[in-house]
Amino acid sequence: MQPTELYLVRHGLAGEADPTRDDRQRPLTPAGRQRTRAVAKRLQALDLHFDGLLSSPLVRATQTAELLRRAGLCKRVEESDVLAPGGDFEAWLRWLRHWRRSPGHRRLCLVGHMPALAAWAELLVFGQPQQRLVLKKAGVLGLTLPARGSPLARSALFLLASPRYLLE
Amino acid sequence: MQPTELYLVRHGLAGEADPTRDDRQRPLTPAGRQRTRAVAKRLQALDLHFDGLLSSPLVRATQTAELLRRAGLCKRVEESDVLAPGGDFEAWLRWLRHWRRSPGHRRLCLVGHMPALAAWAELLVFGQPQQRLVLKKAGVLGLTLPARGSPLARSALFLLASPRYLLE
């Protein structure tokens, strides 16, 4: 296997939670769409292209993923419940092992939620989730997973940035 | 005390190490100066201002620190051997405790070297150095240290970016 570059993107700004409505349907706000689109264009300008993009099925995540796709960052968006809140990290690791086996699969993007995204990054980099990584909405984490063996506690973190730092 | 925002900046690109010359005198290359200056301007555009800037006394670090000062990021540069390669983290922690006691001291910048800068960040965030943070030359780490008590294994990481991600 090759080392895998893994990008974790938190969904953009969504409306306030409303207990009378289904939280899974909560969409991005107009400002959230605009800022997420700007981040997507910025990543595209950095010559990023993802060989795969897996998104949480919640609307604020799929809308974020779709904005990444429209900016030319990936060919298609795949949805998976492992990225929904309370999702299953071990199930994702199994999915990842399979994904990495395909030739040309080197750069992967996950679109999801806090606190899971930071916790997953901490598991990959340091081996335990400590909730010490601050990932703002439409923010990006970048990791390098080693070519061989488990990525747990063996990956490197090369990027952690909120939109403020990515955008002019 | 207030929470402290701590920025760790790695010196810019310097010439190749030459065993016949004093490594402490190795200067930034013209390209290194240019890129470091661009990062300094970008941090200034982000409205950062440091209440203190402590630099390694090695020339490639003091030149980096001076470019930050000239961009308006701090009033003056202080040099300290604790930031030289092989420097003393515990001695810096003692210096920090003292520094934080002064009113108006909230945002601090350190200019230094790898692998120490990443190791210090890991100590502050996760409690042990694991060399899993990738900080390129003229790259920036941003941490928030808690208002009270030891910052060890209790700080948050909100920024890790090489110049590539900070600059257009």
Q: How far is CA A32 from CA A37, A97, A117, A168, in A?
A: 8, 33, 19, 16
Spans of chain A, pLDDT less than 50? none
What's the average model confidence in pLDDT over B42-57? Answer: 97
- Tell me what pLDDT residue A71 has: 98
Task: Answer whether B168 touches A (CB < 8 Å).
Answer: yes
Residue B1 has pLDDT above 80, yes or no: no
Chain B, 50 to 109: residues with Cβ < 8 Å from chain A are none
ipTM: 0.95
Please tell me the total count of domains within chain A: 1
Task: Answer whether B132 touches A (CB < 8 Å).
Answer: yes
B126 domain-assigned: yes
Give the distance from residue A141's alpha carbon to the nearest chain B alpha carbon, in angstroms: 9
For the domain that residue B157 is a member of, what is the CATH number? 3.40.50.1240
% of chain B residues with pLDDT over 90 = 91
- Tell me what pLDDT residue B155 has: 98
- Tell me what pLDDT residue A104 has: 92
B19 domain-assigned: no
% of chain B residues with pLDDT over 70 = 99
B20 domain-assigned: no
A20 domain-assigned: no
- Tell me what pLDDT residue A2 has: 78
Residues of A in contact with B133 (CB under 8 A): 156-157
A49 domain-assigned: yes
- Tell me what pLDDT residue A108 has: 98
- Tell me what pLDDT residue A18 has: 83
A19 domain-assigned: no
CB contact under 8 A, B161 and A164: no
A34 domain-assigned: yes
- Tell me what pLDDT residue B121 has: 98
Chain A contact probe: residue of B124, B136, B157, B166 with most A CBs at under 10 A: B157
The parent domain of residue A125 ranges over 4-14+25-167
Model pLDDT for residues B133-157, shown as the tens digit of each residue: 999 999 999 999 999 999 999 999 9
- Tell me what pLDDT residue A94 has: 96
B114 domain-assigned: yes
- Model confidence at B68, pLDDT cuts 50, 70, 90, reads very high
Can you give the pTM of this predicted structure?
A: 0.96
